[in-house]
Amino acid sequence: MTLIDDDYSDWLESEAGVALQRVAKRLGMPWHCGEWGRYRRGMGVGVTVASELAHELGHWLVAPPSRRHVAYFGLGSPNELLRGQRVDPDFADDEERRASLMGVVLLRRVGGDAETALHDHGWVVDPSRPDLTNRFGERPVPALWLTDLCNAGLISRREANGVQLQLKRIWRQV
């Protein structure tokens, strides 16, 4: 059963929210509707919007199965390194990029707001959003990480091309 915090539950009944909840259930990924990044034993990590659930699903899908049982199976914030494990920073950054793009692809699949996710995850430098830092460079080329997702059988070449075209369209606007 998923814990629901009413302060964050508006998105749960949206089309994208329902679809992403089904994916999480099918994969067996624990999560709860509550403060993002807050882990609850047996309930998983907290999410406040559909894009966060998509991102966490992205981490679940790209993480090695041996790491999925730990509280924070992803490598990014809120804990940059897994407790008690040493993780190569380059590996962690590459995995974060793959998880981010996987989350974007999942949002596109379910009709969610993939464009906002691209902004929120640092794939676009947006002068109107000074609160966000661009971790991946001014115009990052996601082809490498999208190819990794294709090679792993997680996304199709068509989906990878769709994300790249969406990014190019956004870059022309900012």
Write out the DSSP string of 97-151.
HHHHHHHHHHHHHHT--HHHHHHHTTSS--TT-TTS--TT-SS--THHHHHHHHH
pTM score, whole prediction = 0.79
Between 6 and 173, the more confident residue is 173
Between 78 and 7, the more confident residue is 7
Residue pLDDT, tens place only, 57-77: 998 898 888 777 766 666 554
**What confidence score (pLDDT) does residue 81 get?**
44
Written as one letter, the residue type at 164 is Q
Going by C-beta distance under 8 Å and a sequence separation of 6 or more, which residues neighbour residue 104? 54, 58, 114, 117, 118, 121, 123, 163
pLDDT band at 14; cut points 50, 70, 90: confident
Q: In this model, does residue 48 exceed pLDDT 50?
A: yes
Residue pLDDT, tens place only, 95-116: 888 888 999 999 999 998 888 8
